[in-house]
Amino acid sequence: MEKPKLLILDEPMNGLDKQGVLEIREVLKELNREGATIILSSHYAEDIEALCDTVHEMNAGVLTRIG
């Protein structure tokens, strides 16, 4: 898929080694710089901190804004 406008990803770094995680993060950052909107689901704070500019959290089935 070339130049997607929207990506919805659920735990995209799950099961990857450290180098794989770094590579995927760079791909996602580049896609974002090119204008793609990326919706990312992750349980890992490191992924969220490295990639997200807006963060929401689910708490007891309720979506809340964090930052």
Q: Are 5 and 35 in contact (CB under 8 A)?
A: yes
Q: Please report which helix (H) or strand (E) contains residue 32, including its range.
A: helix 18-33
SS3 state at 11: coil
- pLDDT for the residue numbered 1: 64
CATH assignment at residue 32: 3.40.50.300
Q: Is the whole-model pTM more than 0.85? A: no
Nearest in space to 53 (alpha carbons), one of 61, 62, 15, 36: 36
Is 30 inside a domain boundary? yes
Q: Is residue 46 part of a domain?
A: yes
The domain tally of the chain equals 1
> DSSP readout, 35-63?
T-EEEEE-S-HHHHHHH-SS-EEEETTEE
Assess if residue 1 is contained within a domain: no
The tens digit of pLDDT for each residue in 27-49 reads: 999 999 999 999 999 988 899 99
